[in-house]
Structure 1
Amino acid sequence: MAKNIVIFGEVLWDIFPDGNQKLGGAPFNVAWHLQAFGANPLLISRVGVDDLGLAIQTKMQAWQMTLAGLQIDEIHPTGTVKVTLEKGQPQYEITADCAYDFIDHQQFPPLGANFWLYHGSLALRNAVSQGSFRALQQQADQIFFDVNLRQPWWTAVTINSALAASQYVKLNTEELTLLTPEFASIDLAINHLLSQDSLQQIILTAGEAGASLYTQGDRQQISPQKNTTVVDTVGAGDAFCSVCLLGLTSNWPPSLILERAQAFASAVVGIRGAVSEDPHFYQPFIQAWRL
Protein backbone atom coordinates (compact mmCIF):
# COMPACT_ATOMS: atom_id res chain seq x y z
CA MET A 1 0.00 0.00 0.00
CA ALA A 2 1.24 3.47 -0.86
CA LYS A 3 1.67 5.44 2.37
CA ASN A 4 2.46 8.93 1.18
CA ILE A 5 -0.98 10.55 0.79
CA VAL A 6 -1.54 14.24 1.50
CA ILE A 7 -5.11 15.48 2.01
CA PHE A 8 -5.76 19.23 1.63
CA GLY A 9 -8.89 21.12 2.60
CA GLU A 10 -11.63 21.66 5.12
CA VAL A 11 -12.34 20.02 8.44
CA LEU A 12 -15.60 21.14 10.03
CA TRP A 13 -18.65 20.15 12.01
CA ASP A 14 -21.90 19.14 10.33
CA ILE A 15 -24.77 20.36 12.54
CA PHE A 16 -28.06 18.51 12.06
CA PRO A 17 -31.58 19.87 12.72
CA ASP A 18 -31.81 18.02 16.05
CA GLY A 19 -28.63 19.73 17.25
CA ASN A 20 -26.51 16.65 16.77
CA GLN A 21 -22.97 17.47 15.59
CA LYS A 22 -20.85 15.23 13.41
CA LEU A 23 -17.32 15.62 12.12
CA GLY A 24 -17.28 16.52 8.45
CA GLY A 25 -15.69 18.17 5.46
CA ALA A 26 -14.94 16.03 2.42
CA PRO A 27 -11.13 16.07 2.83
CA PHE A 28 -11.40 15.26 6.52
CA ASN A 29 -13.85 12.43 5.86
CA VAL A 30 -11.51 10.92 3.26
CA ALA A 31 -8.53 11.25 5.62
CA TRP A 32 -10.50 9.65 8.47
CA HIS A 33 -11.46 6.64 6.35
CA LEU A 34 -7.94 6.26 4.99
CA GLN A 35 -6.55 6.29 8.52
CA ALA A 36 -8.96 3.52 9.48
CA PHE A 37 -7.72 1.50 6.50
CA GLY A 38 -4.09 1.94 7.56
CA ALA A 39 -2.96 4.46 4.93
CA ASN A 40 -1.77 7.08 7.48
CA PRO A 41 -2.58 10.19 5.42
CA LEU A 42 -1.35 13.68 6.25
CA LEU A 43 -4.31 16.08 6.57
CA ILE A 44 -3.45 19.72 5.87
CA SER A 45 -6.21 21.90 7.28
CA ARG A 46 -6.86 24.62 9.86
CA VAL A 47 -9.09 25.03 12.93
CA GLY A 48 -9.88 27.86 15.30
CA VAL A 49 -8.92 28.45 18.93
CA ASP A 50 -12.32 27.30 20.14
CA ASP A 51 -14.09 24.30 21.62
CA LEU A 52 -14.93 22.89 18.19
CA GLY A 53 -11.30 23.10 17.10
CA LEU A 54 -10.11 21.45 20.28
CA ALA A 55 -12.68 18.69 19.82
CA ILE A 56 -11.33 18.02 16.31
CA GLN A 57 -7.80 17.70 17.66
CA THR A 58 -9.02 15.32 20.37
CA LYS A 59 -10.94 13.18 17.86
CA MET A 60 -7.97 13.02 15.49
CA GLN A 61 -5.59 11.98 18.26
CA ALA A 62 -7.99 9.30 19.45
CA TRP A 63 -8.14 7.99 15.86
CA GLN A 64 -4.32 8.05 15.76
CA MET A 65 -4.26 10.67 13.01
CA THR A 66 -1.23 12.93 12.85
CA LEU A 67 -1.75 16.58 13.79
CA ALA A 68 1.39 17.66 11.91
CA GLY A 69 -0.63 19.32 9.12
CA LEU A 70 -3.39 20.79 11.31
CA GLN A 71 -2.88 24.53 11.72
CA ILE A 72 -4.33 26.66 14.55
CA ASP A 73 -5.97 29.97 13.64
CA GLU A 74 -6.23 32.61 16.40
CA ILE A 75 -8.61 34.83 14.41
CA HIS A 76 -11.07 32.70 12.46
CA PRO A 77 -13.45 30.08 13.90
CA THR A 78 -13.53 26.36 13.20
CA GLY A 79 -15.74 25.55 10.22
CA THR A 80 -19.41 24.65 10.62
CA VAL A 81 -22.16 23.58 8.25
CA LYS A 82 -25.90 23.42 8.94
CA VAL A 83 -27.25 20.25 7.36
CA THR A 84 -30.92 19.75 6.51
CA LEU A 85 -32.36 16.67 4.85
CA GLU A 86 -34.94 17.08 2.08
CA LYS A 87 -36.39 13.76 0.89
CA GLY A 88 -33.32 12.04 2.27
CA GLN A 89 -30.89 14.29 0.39
CA PRO A 90 -28.60 16.62 2.37
CA GLN A 91 -28.72 20.39 1.88
CA TYR A 92 -25.88 22.52 3.22
CA GLU A 93 -25.58 26.02 4.67
CA ILE A 94 -21.82 26.60 4.83
CA THR A 95 -20.35 29.26 7.11
CA ALA A 96 -17.97 31.70 5.40
CA ASP A 97 -14.53 32.89 6.55
CA CYS A 98 -13.66 29.85 8.63
CA ALA A 99 -10.20 28.76 9.71
CA TYR A 100 -9.83 26.37 6.76
CA ASP A 101 -10.19 29.34 4.39
CA PHE A 102 -6.84 30.63 5.69
CA ILE A 103 -4.51 27.62 5.41
CA ASP A 104 -0.94 28.99 5.43
CA HIS A 105 1.60 27.36 3.09
CA GLN A 106 4.42 28.61 5.31
CA GLN A 107 3.16 26.27 8.04
CA PHE A 108 3.25 23.11 5.92
CA PRO A 109 5.19 20.25 7.53
CA PRO A 110 7.88 18.39 5.54
CA LEU A 111 6.07 16.54 2.76
CA GLY A 112 8.68 14.20 1.31
CA ALA A 113 8.79 13.14 -2.31
CA ASN A 114 6.39 11.40 -4.69
CA PHE A 115 3.22 12.02 -2.69
CA TRP A 116 -0.35 11.72 -3.88
CA LEU A 117 -2.43 14.84 -3.28
CA TYR A 118 -6.19 14.69 -2.68
CA HIS A 119 -8.30 17.85 -2.57
CA GLY A 120 -11.86 19.03 -3.03
CA SER A 121 -13.43 22.30 -4.14
CA LEU A 122 -14.61 24.12 -1.01
CA ALA A 123 -11.21 25.09 0.41
CA LEU A 124 -10.39 26.78 -2.90
CA ARG A 125 -13.09 29.42 -2.38
CA ASN A 126 -10.77 31.79 -0.50
CA ALA A 127 -7.65 33.34 -2.04
CA VAL A 128 -5.46 32.50 0.97
CA SER A 129 -6.12 28.76 1.02
CA GLN A 130 -6.21 28.71 -2.76
CA GLY A 131 -2.72 30.21 -2.90
CA SER A 132 -1.46 27.66 -0.38
CA PHE A 133 -3.00 24.89 -2.44
CA ARG A 134 -1.20 26.10 -5.58
CA ALA A 135 2.11 25.84 -3.75
CA LEU A 136 1.26 22.30 -2.65
CA GLN A 137 -0.05 21.34 -6.07
CA GLN A 138 3.32 22.06 -7.67
CA GLN A 139 5.04 19.50 -5.41
CA ALA A 140 2.60 16.60 -5.86
CA ASP A 141 3.41 13.56 -7.96
CA GLN A 142 -0.23 12.57 -8.61
CA ILE A 143 -3.36 14.65 -7.96
CA PHE A 144 -6.84 13.33 -7.18
CA PHE A 145 -9.54 16.03 -7.43
CA ASP A 146 -12.83 15.31 -5.70
CA VAL A 147 -15.25 17.79 -7.28
CA ASN A 148 -17.80 18.79 -4.62
CA LEU A 149 -19.61 21.89 -5.83
CA ARG A 150 -21.39 23.84 -3.10
CA GLN A 151 -23.27 26.96 -4.10
CA PRO A 152 -22.22 29.74 -4.11
CA TRP A 153 -18.68 28.69 -3.22
CA TRP A 154 -17.17 27.84 -6.59
CA THR A 155 -16.36 29.35 -9.97
CA ALA A 156 -15.84 27.66 -13.33
CA VAL A 157 -12.38 29.24 -13.60
CA THR A 158 -11.20 27.73 -10.31
CA ILE A 159 -12.67 24.29 -11.04
CA ASN A 160 -11.34 24.15 -14.61
CA SER A 161 -7.88 25.14 -13.40
CA ALA A 162 -7.94 22.31 -10.85
CA LEU A 163 -9.18 19.84 -13.48
CA ALA A 164 -6.34 20.79 -15.81
CA ALA A 165 -3.76 19.92 -13.15
CA SER A 166 -5.31 16.61 -12.06
CA GLN A 167 -4.71 13.04 -13.15
CA TYR A 168 -7.75 11.58 -11.37
CA VAL A 169 -11.17 13.16 -10.85
CA LYS A 170 -14.33 12.11 -9.04
CA LEU A 171 -17.64 13.91 -9.56
CA ASN A 172 -21.35 13.15 -9.72
CA THR A 173 -23.75 13.47 -12.65
CA GLU A 174 -25.15 16.81 -11.48
CA GLU A 175 -21.66 18.28 -11.17
CA LEU A 176 -20.72 16.97 -14.61
CA THR A 177 -23.73 18.75 -16.11
CA LEU A 178 -22.88 22.01 -14.34
CA LEU A 179 -19.29 21.91 -15.60
CA THR A 180 -20.06 20.80 -19.17
CA PRO A 181 -23.48 22.27 -20.09
CA GLU A 182 -22.58 22.40 -23.78
CA PHE A 183 -22.63 18.61 -24.16
CA ALA A 184 -25.85 16.69 -24.80
CA SER A 185 -24.77 13.40 -23.24
CA ILE A 186 -22.64 12.08 -20.40
CA ASP A 187 -20.34 10.22 -22.78
CA LEU A 188 -19.61 13.35 -24.81
CA ALA A 189 -18.89 15.33 -21.66
CA ILE A 190 -16.61 12.63 -20.26
CA ASN A 191 -14.72 12.29 -23.55
CA HIS A 192 -14.23 16.05 -23.65
CA LEU A 193 -12.71 16.07 -20.15
CA LEU A 194 -10.48 13.08 -20.83
CA SER A 195 -9.14 14.69 -23.99
CA GLN A 196 -7.71 17.59 -22.02
CA ASP A 197 -4.37 18.05 -20.32
CA SER A 198 -3.19 15.39 -17.88
CA LEU A 199 -6.48 13.75 -16.89
CA GLN A 200 -6.23 9.95 -16.94
CA GLN A 201 -9.33 8.71 -15.15
CA ILE A 202 -12.80 9.96 -14.23
CA ILE A 203 -15.01 8.37 -11.60
CA LEU A 204 -18.66 9.35 -12.03
CA THR A 205 -21.15 8.62 -9.26
CA ALA A 206 -24.90 8.55 -9.84
CA GLY A 207 -26.49 7.76 -6.47
CA GLU A 208 -28.91 4.85 -6.70
CA ALA A 209 -27.78 4.23 -10.28
CA GLY A 210 -24.28 3.34 -9.10
CA ALA A 211 -20.97 4.56 -10.48
CA SER A 212 -18.75 4.40 -13.55
CA LEU A 213 -15.00 4.57 -14.03
CA TYR A 214 -13.81 6.06 -17.31
CA THR A 215 -10.41 5.97 -18.96
CA GLN A 216 -9.55 6.69 -22.58
CA GLY A 217 -11.64 4.24 -24.63
CA ASP A 218 -12.93 2.25 -21.64
CA ARG A 219 -15.80 2.39 -19.15
CA GLN A 220 -16.56 0.15 -16.19
CA GLN A 221 -19.78 0.37 -14.22
CA ILE A 222 -21.23 -0.92 -10.96
CA SER A 223 -24.66 -0.71 -9.29
CA PRO A 224 -25.36 -0.74 -5.54
CA GLN A 225 -27.04 -3.68 -3.91
CA LYS A 226 -30.83 -3.32 -3.78
CA ASN A 227 -31.06 -4.15 -0.06
CA THR A 228 -28.95 -1.16 1.05
CA THR A 229 -30.29 0.49 4.23
CA VAL A 230 -30.18 4.31 4.03
CA VAL A 231 -30.08 6.44 7.19
CA ASP A 232 -28.68 9.49 5.38
CA THR A 233 -26.44 10.04 2.37
CA VAL A 234 -24.12 12.58 4.04
CA GLY A 235 -20.56 11.62 3.19
CA ALA A 236 -21.45 8.82 0.78
CA GLY A 237 -19.37 10.36 -1.99
CA ASP A 238 -16.45 10.87 0.40
CA ALA A 239 -16.61 7.21 1.44
CA PHE A 240 -16.61 6.17 -2.21
CA CYS A 241 -13.73 8.52 -2.93
CA SER A 242 -11.60 7.28 -0.03
CA VAL A 243 -11.66 3.72 -1.34
CA CYS A 244 -10.96 4.88 -4.89
CA LEU A 245 -7.87 6.70 -3.62
CA LEU A 246 -6.86 3.69 -1.54
CA GLY A 247 -7.24 1.46 -4.58
CA LEU A 248 -5.32 3.74 -6.91
CA THR A 249 -2.39 4.08 -4.52
CA SER A 250 -2.44 0.31 -3.94
CA ASN A 251 -2.60 -0.57 -7.66
CA TRP A 252 -5.96 -2.36 -7.53
CA PRO A 253 -7.53 -3.01 -10.95
CA PRO A 254 -10.35 -0.60 -11.91
CA SER A 255 -13.11 -3.19 -11.53
CA LEU A 256 -11.98 -3.98 -7.98
CA ILE A 257 -11.77 -0.29 -7.08
CA LEU A 258 -15.39 0.22 -8.17
CA GLU A 259 -16.64 -2.88 -6.40
CA ARG A 260 -14.99 -2.04 -3.09
CA ALA A 261 -15.80 1.67 -3.23
CA GLN A 262 -19.48 0.92 -3.85
CA ALA A 263 -19.59 -1.61 -1.01
CA PHE A 264 -18.06 0.82 1.47
CA ALA A 265 -20.27 3.75 0.40
CA SER A 266 -23.32 1.51 0.83
CA ALA A 267 -22.25 0.84 4.41
CA VAL A 268 -21.68 4.53 5.20
CA VAL A 269 -25.19 5.55 4.11
CA GLY A 270 -26.43 3.18 6.82
CA ILE A 271 -25.00 5.39 9.61
CA ARG A 272 -25.75 8.96 10.72
CA GLY A 273 -23.15 11.37 9.41
CA ALA A 274 -20.13 10.91 7.19
CA VAL A 275 -17.76 8.83 9.33
CA SER A 276 -17.89 6.18 12.04
CA GLU A 277 -15.89 6.54 15.24
CA ASP A 278 -16.16 2.80 15.85
CA PRO A 279 -13.10 0.91 14.53
CA HIS A 280 -15.23 -2.24 14.28
CA PHE A 281 -17.21 -0.58 11.49
CA TYR A 282 -14.14 -0.86 9.25
CA GLN A 283 -13.03 -4.35 10.23
CA PRO A 284 -15.12 -6.35 7.72
CA PHE A 285 -13.58 -4.35 4.87
CA ILE A 286 -10.05 -4.56 6.25
CA GLN A 287 -10.38 -8.33 6.56
CA ALA A 288 -12.05 -8.83 3.20
CA TRP A 289 -9.51 -6.65 1.42
CA ARG A 290 -6.58 -8.01 3.48
CA LEU A 291 -5.26 -4.56 4.26
Structure 2
Amino acid sequence: MNPDPSTQPVLFGEVLFDCFDDGSRILGGAPFNVAWHLQGFGLRPILISRVGDDPLGHQIRRRMIDWGMSSAGLQLDSRYPTGEVQVRIQNGQPSYDIVSDRAWDHIEARALPPLRPGLLYHGSLGLRSDDSAACFARLSQDCPVPRYFDVNLRSPWWQAEQVLQLIGQAHWLKINDEELNSLVSQGADLEQKASALLQDNGLRWIIVTQGAAGAFALDAEGHFSQVRPEADIQVVDTVGAGDAFAAVSLLGLTRHWPAELILQRAQQFASLIVGQRGATAADPQLYSCLHKTWEL
Protein backbone atom coordinates (compact mmCIF):
# COMPACT_ATOMS: atom_id res chain seq x y z
CA MET A 1 0.00 0.00 0.00
CA ASN A 2 1.40 3.40 -1.00
CA PRO A 3 0.44 6.70 0.67
CA ASP A 4 -2.39 8.46 -1.10
CA PRO A 5 -1.39 12.09 -1.76
CA SER A 6 -5.08 13.09 -1.70
CA THR A 7 -5.27 12.30 2.05
CA GLN A 8 -3.52 14.07 4.88
CA PRO A 9 -0.37 12.85 6.58
CA VAL A 10 -0.91 12.60 10.34
CA LEU A 11 2.01 13.38 12.64
CA PHE A 12 1.96 12.40 16.30
CA GLY A 13 4.08 13.67 19.17
CA GLU A 14 5.71 16.64 20.78
CA VAL A 15 5.37 20.35 20.12
CA LEU A 16 7.45 22.60 22.35
CA PHE A 17 9.76 25.56 22.56
CA ASP A 18 13.51 25.20 22.18
CA CYS A 19 15.06 27.57 24.72
CA PHE A 20 18.59 28.78 23.96
CA ASP A 21 21.33 30.10 26.22
CA ASP A 22 20.81 33.68 25.00
CA GLY A 23 17.22 33.67 26.27
CA SER A 24 15.56 33.21 22.89
CA ARG A 25 12.77 30.69 22.34
CA ILE A 26 12.15 28.92 19.06
CA LEU A 27 9.13 26.80 18.33
CA GLY A 28 10.02 23.17 17.67
CA GLY A 29 9.58 19.47 18.36
CA ALA A 30 10.27 16.97 15.60
CA PRO A 31 6.65 16.15 14.64
CA PHE A 32 5.77 19.85 14.67
CA ASN A 33 8.81 20.75 12.57
CA VAL A 34 8.05 18.06 10.01
CA ALA A 35 4.38 19.08 9.88
CA TRP A 36 5.40 22.73 9.40
CA HIS A 37 7.59 21.82 6.43
CA LEU A 38 4.92 19.60 4.91
CA GLN A 39 2.45 22.48 5.14
CA GLY A 40 5.00 24.66 3.37
CA PHE A 41 5.17 22.07 0.60
CA GLY A 42 1.38 21.94 0.31
CA LEU A 43 0.56 18.58 1.91
CA ARG A 44 -1.84 19.98 4.57
CA PRO A 45 -0.83 17.69 7.47
CA ILE A 46 -2.64 17.09 10.75
CA LEU A 47 -0.47 17.35 13.88
CA ILE A 48 -1.68 15.37 16.89
CA SER A 49 -0.19 16.97 20.01
CA ARG A 50 -1.10 18.83 23.19
CA VAL A 51 -0.19 22.23 24.65
CA GLY A 52 -0.88 23.97 27.93
CA ASP A 53 -3.61 26.55 28.40
CA ASP A 54 -0.89 29.15 28.82
CA PRO A 55 0.76 31.93 26.77
CA LEU A 56 3.20 29.53 25.07
CA GLY A 57 0.40 27.14 24.13
CA HIS A 58 -1.71 29.96 22.73
CA GLN A 59 1.29 31.19 20.76
CA ILE A 60 1.75 27.75 19.20
CA ARG A 61 -1.87 27.65 18.08
CA ARG A 62 -1.61 31.15 16.59
CA ARG A 63 1.60 30.28 14.75
CA MET A 64 0.03 27.17 13.27
CA ILE A 65 -3.07 29.04 12.11
CA ASP A 66 -0.99 31.89 10.67
CA TRP A 67 1.04 29.33 8.68
CA GLY A 68 -2.17 27.77 7.37
CA MET A 69 -1.88 24.58 9.41
CA SER A 70 -4.90 22.82 10.84
CA SER A 71 -5.15 23.02 14.63
CA ALA A 72 -7.82 20.30 14.81
CA GLY A 73 -5.38 17.84 16.38
CA LEU A 74 -3.83 20.30 18.85
CA GLN A 75 -5.30 19.54 22.27
CA LEU A 76 -5.44 22.08 25.12
CA ASP A 77 -4.44 21.08 28.65
CA SER A 78 -5.51 23.07 31.72
CA ARG A 79 -3.23 21.13 34.08
CA TYR A 80 0.12 20.57 32.37
CA PRO A 81 2.18 23.39 30.81
CA THR A 82 3.45 23.64 27.26
CA GLY A 83 6.64 21.73 26.53
CA GLU A 84 10.10 23.25 26.74
CA VAL A 85 13.61 22.07 25.91
CA GLN A 86 16.87 23.68 26.96
CA VAL A 87 19.15 23.60 23.90
CA ARG A 88 22.89 24.12 24.10
CA ILE A 89 25.12 24.25 21.03
CA GLN A 90 28.68 22.98 21.43
CA ASN A 91 31.04 22.52 18.48
CA GLY A 92 28.11 22.94 16.13
CA GLN A 93 26.10 20.09 17.67
CA PRO A 94 22.99 20.50 19.85
CA SER A 95 22.44 18.94 23.26
CA TYR A 96 18.99 18.82 24.85
CA ASP A 97 17.50 18.99 28.33
CA ILE A 98 13.88 18.00 27.76
CA VAL A 99 11.59 19.11 30.58
CA SER A 100 9.41 16.22 31.76
CA ASP A 101 5.67 15.91 32.40
CA ARG A 102 4.49 18.54 29.96
CA ALA A 103 1.24 18.79 28.02
CA TRP A 104 2.49 16.70 25.09
CA ASP A 105 3.09 13.84 27.55
CA HIS A 106 -0.68 13.64 28.06
CA ILE A 107 -2.23 13.45 24.59
CA GLU A 108 -5.72 11.94 24.94
CA ALA A 109 -7.33 9.41 22.62
CA ARG A 110 -10.82 10.72 23.41
CA ALA A 111 -9.83 14.14 22.05
CA LEU A 112 -8.62 12.88 18.67
CA PRO A 113 -10.37 14.48 15.68
CA PRO A 114 -11.87 12.43 12.82
CA LEU A 115 -8.98 11.31 10.63
CA ARG A 116 -8.43 9.74 7.23
CA PRO A 117 -4.66 9.69 6.91
CA GLY A 118 -2.58 8.32 4.08
CA LEU A 119 0.36 7.72 6.39
CA LEU A 120 1.29 8.13 10.03
CA TYR A 121 4.53 9.77 11.18
CA HIS A 122 5.90 9.50 14.71
CA GLY A 123 9.12 9.51 16.68
CA SER A 124 10.23 7.80 19.86
CA LEU A 125 10.39 10.82 22.18
CA GLY A 126 6.67 11.54 21.83
CA LEU A 127 5.88 8.14 23.32
CA ARG A 128 7.93 8.53 26.51
CA SER A 129 4.83 8.76 28.74
CA ASP A 130 2.11 6.17 29.35
CA ASP A 131 -0.68 8.59 28.40
CA SER A 132 0.67 9.57 25.00
CA ALA A 133 1.83 6.01 24.26
CA ALA A 134 -1.69 4.74 24.94
CA CYS A 135 -3.15 7.43 22.69
CA PHE A 136 -0.75 6.51 19.90
CA ALA A 137 -1.68 2.84 20.24
CA ARG A 138 -5.34 3.77 19.83
CA LEU A 139 -4.55 6.00 16.86
CA SER A 140 -2.55 3.21 15.21
CA GLN A 141 -5.43 0.79 15.73
CA ASP A 142 -8.02 3.18 14.32
CA CYS A 143 -5.81 4.23 11.38
CA PRO A 144 -4.06 1.11 10.00
CA VAL A 145 -1.96 2.99 7.43
CA PRO A 146 1.76 2.84 6.60
CA ARG A 147 3.98 4.25 9.34
CA TYR A 148 7.07 6.42 9.08
CA PHE A 149 9.15 6.05 12.24
CA ASP A 150 11.66 8.85 12.80
CA VAL A 151 13.89 7.60 15.61
CA ASN A 152 15.01 10.35 17.99
CA LEU A 153 16.80 8.87 20.99
CA ARG A 154 17.06 11.42 23.79
CA SER A 155 18.49 10.21 27.08
CA PRO A 156 17.02 9.20 29.44
CA TRP A 157 13.75 9.00 27.50
CA TRP A 158 14.16 5.76 25.60
CA GLN A 159 14.50 2.02 26.05
CA ALA A 160 15.94 -0.23 23.35
CA GLU A 161 13.18 -2.81 23.70
CA GLN A 162 10.43 -0.25 23.07
CA VAL A 163 12.26 1.36 20.15
CA LEU A 164 12.91 -1.99 18.47
CA GLN A 165 9.25 -2.90 18.91
CA LEU A 166 8.23 0.33 17.17
CA ILE A 167 10.69 -0.37 14.36
CA GLY A 168 9.02 -3.74 13.87
CA GLN A 169 5.69 -1.98 13.33
CA ALA A 170 7.02 0.60 10.86
CA HIS A 171 7.16 0.61 7.08
CA TRP A 172 9.79 3.33 6.66
CA LEU A 173 12.52 4.20 9.12
CA LYS A 174 14.79 7.20 9.51
CA ILE A 175 17.65 6.90 11.98
CA ASN A 176 21.02 8.59 12.45
CA ASP A 177 24.37 6.85 12.60
CA GLU A 178 24.78 7.14 16.38
CA GLU A 179 21.28 5.77 17.00
CA LEU A 180 21.91 2.88 14.63
CA ASN A 181 25.09 1.94 16.47
CA SER A 182 23.22 2.15 19.79
CA LEU A 183 20.47 -0.24 18.66
CA VAL A 184 22.30 -2.73 16.44
CA SER A 185 25.42 -4.66 17.44
CA GLN A 186 25.63 -7.03 14.48
CA GLY A 187 27.42 -5.86 11.34
CA ALA A 188 30.87 -4.46 10.69
CA ASP A 189 29.74 -1.08 9.36
CA LEU A 190 26.70 1.16 9.12
CA GLU A 191 25.47 -0.35 5.87
CA GLN A 192 25.54 -3.86 7.31
CA LYS A 193 23.80 -2.70 10.48
CA ALA A 194 21.12 -0.94 8.44
CA SER A 195 20.64 -4.02 6.27
CA ALA A 196 20.23 -6.21 9.35
CA LEU A 197 17.68 -3.83 10.86
CA LEU A 198 15.75 -3.65 7.60
CA GLN A 199 15.66 -7.41 7.06
CA ASP A 200 14.94 -8.34 10.67
CA ASN A 201 11.93 -6.02 10.80
CA GLY A 202 10.52 -6.31 7.29
CA LEU A 203 11.01 -2.61 6.58
CA ARG A 204 10.34 -1.24 3.12
CA TRP A 205 13.04 1.38 3.42
CA ILE A 206 15.60 2.71 5.87
CA ILE A 207 17.37 6.09 5.75
CA VAL A 208 20.54 6.57 7.79
CA THR A 209 21.61 10.19 8.26
CA GLN A 210 25.27 10.90 9.02
CA GLY A 211 25.47 14.62 9.73
CA ALA A 212 28.15 16.29 7.64
CA ALA A 213 28.79 12.98 5.84
CA GLY A 214 25.30 13.02 4.31
CA ALA A 215 22.95 10.04 4.27
CA PHE A 216 22.27 6.70 2.65
CA ALA A 217 19.19 4.56 2.08
CA LEU A 218 18.48 0.87 1.64
CA ASP A 219 15.22 -0.66 0.45
CA ALA A 220 13.71 -4.12 0.74
CA GLU A 221 15.00 -5.05 -2.73
CA GLY A 222 18.57 -4.33 -1.67
CA HIS A 223 18.99 -1.08 -3.59
CA PHE A 224 21.54 1.31 -2.07
CA SER A 225 21.49 5.10 -2.52
CA GLN A 226 23.77 7.75 -1.04
CA VAL A 227 24.04 11.52 -0.91
CA ARG A 228 26.64 13.93 0.45
CA PRO A 229 26.18 17.64 1.20
CA GLU A 230 27.96 20.31 -0.77
CA ALA A 231 31.30 21.35 0.69
CA ASP A 232 30.49 25.06 0.98
CA ILE A 233 27.34 24.85 3.14
CA GLN A 234 27.03 27.63 5.72
CA VAL A 235 26.02 26.12 9.08
CA VAL A 236 24.35 28.31 11.71
CA ASP A 237 22.92 25.46 13.78
CA THR A 238 21.90 21.86 13.10
CA VAL A 239 18.84 21.63 15.38
CA GLY A 240 16.37 21.07 12.54
CA ALA A 241 18.47 19.22 9.97
CA GLY A 242 17.02 15.79 10.62
CA ASP A 243 13.44 17.07 10.65
CA ALA A 244 13.96 18.86 7.34
CA PHE A 245 15.36 15.64 5.90
CA ALA A 246 12.39 13.66 7.21
CA ALA A 247 9.87 16.12 5.77
CA VAL A 248 11.23 15.92 2.24
CA SER A 249 11.55 12.15 2.40
CA LEU A 250 7.86 12.02 3.39
CA LEU A 251 7.04 14.38 0.54
CA GLY A 252 8.97 12.15 -1.82
CA LEU A 253 7.13 9.05 -0.65
CA THR A 254 3.76 10.66 -1.34
CA ARG A 255 5.00 11.73 -4.79
CA HIS A 256 6.58 8.33 -5.52
CA TRP A 257 10.02 9.79 -6.20
CA PRO A 258 12.88 7.31 -6.66
CA ALA A 259 15.18 6.88 -3.67
CA GLU A 260 18.08 8.76 -5.25
CA LEU A 261 15.89 11.81 -5.87
CA ILE A 262 14.43 11.71 -2.36
CA LEU A 263 17.90 11.72 -0.82
CA GLN A 264 19.16 14.47 -3.12
CA ARG A 265 16.23 16.79 -2.40
CA ALA A 266 16.11 15.97 1.31
CA GLN A 267 19.79 16.85 1.61
CA GLN A 268 19.24 20.04 -0.39
CA PHE A 269 16.47 21.18 1.93
CA ALA A 270 18.33 20.19 5.10
CA SER A 271 21.31 22.22 3.90
CA LEU A 272 19.07 25.27 3.58
CA ILE A 273 17.62 24.81 7.07
CA VAL A 274 20.99 24.50 8.86
CA GLY A 275 21.92 27.89 7.43
CA GLN A 276 19.42 29.63 9.73
CA ARG A 277 18.57 29.77 13.42
CA GLY A 278 15.95 27.23 14.46
CA ALA A 279 14.31 24.22 12.87
CA THR A 280 11.59 25.81 10.71
CA ALA A 281 11.38 28.58 8.15
CA ALA A 282 8.63 31.20 8.30
CA ASP A 283 9.42 32.52 4.81
CA PRO A 284 6.98 31.03 2.26
CA GLN A 285 9.41 31.96 -0.51
CA LEU A 286 11.80 29.22 0.61
CA TYR A 287 9.14 26.62 -0.11
CA SER A 288 7.75 28.29 -3.22
CA CYS A 289 11.21 28.34 -4.79
CA LEU A 290 11.57 24.61 -4.22
CA HIS A 291 8.02 24.10 -5.51
CA LYS A 292 9.16 25.57 -8.82
CA THR A 293 12.55 23.88 -8.89
CA TRP A 294 11.09 20.48 -8.06
CA GLU A 295 7.95 21.01 -10.19
CA LEU A 296 5.60 20.08 -7.35
TM-score by length of 1: 0.97
* Aligned counterpart, 1:59: 63
Answer yes or no: is 1:134 the counterpart of 2:137.
Answer: yes
Deviation at 1:2, TM superposition (A): 4.4
Code of the aligned partner of 2:194: I
Task: Specify which of 239, 249, 258 is matched with residue 254 of structure 2.
Answer: 249
Paired with 2:8 and 2:31, the residues of 1 have a C-alpha distance of 15
Equivalent pairs, count? 290
Equivalent position SS for 1:110: coil
SS at match of 1:196: helix
Which ranges in structure 1 are unaligned for 5 or more consecutive residues? none
For residue 93 of structure 1, what is the aligned residue in structure 2?
97
Which of residues 271, 283, 287 is equivalent to 2:288? Answer: 283
Which stretch of the first structure deviates more once superposed, 176-185 or 11-20? Answer: 176-185
The one-letter code of the counterpart of 2:224 is: R
- 2:270 corresponds to 1:265: yes
Name the counterpart of 1:239: 244
2:78 aligned with 1:74: yes
Take 1:205 and 1:186, find their aligned partners in 2: how far apart are those partners?
Answer: 10
The answer to whether residue 128 in structure 2 is matched with residue 118 in structure 1 is: no
Decide which of 34, 44, 47 is 2:48's aligned counterpart. 44
| Partner SS for 1:169 | strand
- Is the partner of 1:115 in helix, strand or coil? strand
* Residue of structure 1 in register with 2:184 after alignment: 180
Q: Which residue of 2 aligns with 1:223?
A: 228
Q: Is the 8 A contact 2:216 2:226 kept in 1?
A: yes
For structure 2, list consecutive stretches of 5 or more residues without a partner in the other structure: none
Alignment of 1:148-167 (within 5 A): 148-167=152-171
2 CA distance for matches of 1:89 and 1:197? 30
Paired with 2:186 and 2:192, the residues of 1 have a C-alpha distance of 10
Alpha-carbon distance between aligned partners in 1 of 2:202 and 2:82, rounded to the nearest angstrom = 35
Q: Percent identity?
A: 49
Bigger drift between 32-41 and 246-255 goes to 246-255
- Code of the residue aligned with 1:122 in structure 2: it is L
Give per-residue Cα distances to partners, 1:200-252, cap 9 Å, x unaligned: 10000001111101113211001001111100001100000000001001111
Shift, 1:115, TM fit: 2.2
- Root-mean-square deviation (CA, aligned residues, Å) is 1.1
Contact 1:2–1:250 (Cα < 8 Å) also in 2? no
Q: Give 1:283 deviation, angstroms.
A: 2.0
Instruction: Output the TM-score relative to the length of structure 2.
Output: 0.96
1:56 Cα shift?
Answer: 0.1
Question: Deviation per CA, 1:104-142, whole angstroms, max 9, x where unpaired?
Answer: 011111112x52000011111101100111111222311
Residue 192 of structure 1 and its aligned partner are, at CA, apart by 1.4
Partner SS state of residue 265, structure 1: helix
**Tell me, what secondary structure is at the counterpart of 1:195?**
helix
| Partner Cα distance (1:66, 1:224) in 2 | 33
Counterpart in the other structure of 2:32: 28
Q: Secondary structure at the match of 2:229?
A: coil
